[in-house]
Amino acid sequence: AYHEAIQKNKIKEGDTVLFIGSGGGLAFAGAIFKL
């Protein structure tokens, strides 16, 4: 999804993006990146 968003110019340099992931046992993680 990240690669596709860059290709379609939906996100660009200077934007802030949030990645969220989940796993087994109710484990969650998130990371915020400024491009």
Give the domain extent around 8.
2-34
Domain count within the chain: 1
Q: Tell me the pLDDT band of 7, cut-offs 50, 70 and 90.
A: very high
| Helix, strand counts (H, E) of the chain | 1, 2
Q: What is the pLDDT of residue 9?
A: 94
Residues 35/17, Cβ–Cβ less than 8 Å: yes
Residues 5/19, Cβ–Cβ less than 8 Å: no
pLDDT digits (tens, 9 = 90+) for 12-31: 999 999 999 999 989 999 99
Q: What is the pLDDT of residue 11?
A: 95
Q: What is the pLDDT of residue 34?
A: 97
Q: Tell me the pLDDT band of 10, cut-offs 50, 70 and 90.
A: very high
